[in-house]
Structure 1
């Protein structure tokens, strides 16, 4: 295992941020072309409809992506919570959020690259295994078992982890940015639980990285950029198995998220570290406690 990791590190040393950005753009062009084709079919069949609800969905996407871009987590939790409170069924909300995340995480990731919020070695440690975990989770949740079974345990764990991060911020000891342990395994678990449990890549991976002493700015930027690839390939599995519909919700979330993504990355590059620790911890506790309350 160690030899494989060392080989991957050597292979990725010469890859530049520009090449990562170009890869993201090319993948986005592929999915835009595919969605354009589907939208054209919907329009020709007369089944593509929009009304004033589109602006609500756009506002939901903007707010959720602003939080996610600045804190590196909670896009899925924020979107799903707001949509369900508006009366959207849970399954429809989850499918819409996962599809829209391809675009919002792509824009957010490019913005983080621009603001130099990325730790390149860490990025390659988490993006490959994170994607593998997400694809496996998407395949299983699409046809084999219910992800709601593990949600209460994830939420309880995140409440404890959020409390620990707030403690780290209050402690406020001067510390150097440290290398994290078992990052590939952490990403594998985070990607898997994200698709099985309907969210959790950001809270699980970002929270653990910060808890281990990683600079919050680089932890958020790196995890947010890797999330594009994690979401992209997981959504490909969802689309292949389950298909796609509900365009009004998807396009509303995409539009709002696209507008908020650069602003969230800018906030992450400027905000005080101690404040960031407190905000991340508080956000995890509130969202996880709410999810646990809804499930119980």
Structure 2
């Protein structure tokens, strides 16, 4: 397996920082772009994918916190106050108290993460069995198609539905589990098609991706006896450096421009994924 020298380590940190900035700003691009680059440097897939999942576990959760602090989304739980919790449980019961005391954005993120467990388990198990060629082609075509659809429906307003979000979560986490990428474009683009606001969609994707990567990381630890975590510290450090700046960038971007950026970024990542197969 490929080993890290000092300068290669510095380069990995820089690439992880740039990839995370793009990912936390547009809701996509970290694993989809970073995975092939690391493979081209000489690292093995089994070194790359688990390390990316672990890194995005940390950066995703941190990004969710930062997006909340700058106002891009609301992930607060209003019932954290012990008195409110007690009164809520007495009046509504646990499920209803949770529904009433949890913000819509956090509910969406938790729904995506919960359904992602299904996709992650299936994806990780298939990743060690199926030819990578077919998996990459599937992800490339899917992401490219979503990007095209976002651009062509730029002025259309979609009704918010939980059903669409559930389906999106399963497909996206499947992509993440089999390749380390292909999650953000589907979740972010899919949320736009499900009626979620652009800035909210980016913030929700960051938090949900962190929770999803937790499942994917645990699955790899359970499935494989020994994992080389050599890349993980460099990826985590690079990602953490980019998170605060990306959250501020999202706050300042115009909402209409955000949707256009997401659409073209999705098309680019889909085309990039497909081109890798032939190049």
Q: TM-score, length-normalised on structure 1? A: 0.74
Say which of 179, 185, 188 aligns to 2:160.
Answer: 179
Say which of 105, 109, 113 aligns to 1:127.
Answer: 113
Between 89-98 and 182-191, report the one with greater CA deviation: 89-98
Partner of 1:192: 174
Query: Take 2:69 and 2:117, find their aligned partners in 1: how far apart are those partners?
Result: 23
CA deviation string 1:186-230 (max 9, x = no partner): 212221222124322211121111123320111111121011111
1:103 aligns with 2:58: yes
Alignment of 1:132-143 (within 5 A): 132-142=118-128
Q: Structure 1: which 5+ residue stretches go unaligned?
A: 1-47
**CA separation of 1:140/1:85 partners in 2, compared to 1, >3 Å: closer, same or farther?**
closer
Query: Take 1:95 and 1:148, find their aligned partners in 2: how far apart are those partners?
Result: 19
Query: Take 1:113 and 1:131, find their aligned partners in 2: how far apart are those partners?
Result: 24
Query: Take 1:261 and 1:198, find their aligned partners in 2: how far apart are those partners?
Result: 19
CA-atom RMSD in angstroms: 2.3
SS state at 1:52 partner: helix
1:76 aligns with 2:61: no
1:213 aligns with 2:209: no
Query: Take 2:4 and 2:210, find their aligned partners in 1: how far apart are those partners?
Result: 28
Alignment of 1:265-280 (within 5 A): 265-280=247-262
1:152 aligns with 2:120: no
How far has the Cα of 1:52 moved from its partner?
2.0
How far has the Cα of 1:167 moved from its partner?
3.0
Q: Structure 2: which 5+ residue stretches go unaligned?
A: 75-104
Partner of 2:227: 244
CA deviation string 1:234-260 (max 9, x = no partner): 11111232232252x221111110010
1:227 aligns with 2:209: yes
Query: Take 2:183 and 2:4, find their aligned partners in 1: how far apart are those partners?
Result: 32
Query: Take 1:281 and 1:147, find their aligned partners in 2: how far apart are those partners?
Result: 26
User: CA contact under 8 A between 1:147 and 1:198: conserved in structure 2?
Assistant: no
How far has the Cα of 1:59 moved from its partner?
0.3
Say which of 223, 227, 242 aligns to 1:260.
Answer: 242
Alignment length, in residue pairs? 243
Query: Take 1:229 and 1:188, find their aligned partners in 2: how far apart are those partners?
Result: 13
Say which of 65, 69, 81 aligns to 2:20.
Answer: 65
Structure 1: which 4+ aligned runs deviate by more than 4 Å?
Answer: none
CA deviation string 1:99-146 (max 9, x = no partner): 32222212112212323414133223212111332133223424x334
CA deviation string 1:245-295 (max 9, x = no partner): 252x22111111001012112222221122211211111111211211121
Query: Take 2:132 and 2:70, find their aligned partners in 1: how far apart are those partners?
Result: 35
How far has the Cα of 1:82 moved from its partner?
2.7
Partner of 1:284: 266
How far has the Cα of 1:90 moved from its partner?
4.1
**CA separation of 1:148/1:235 partners in 2, compared to 1, >3 Å: closer, same or farther?**
farther
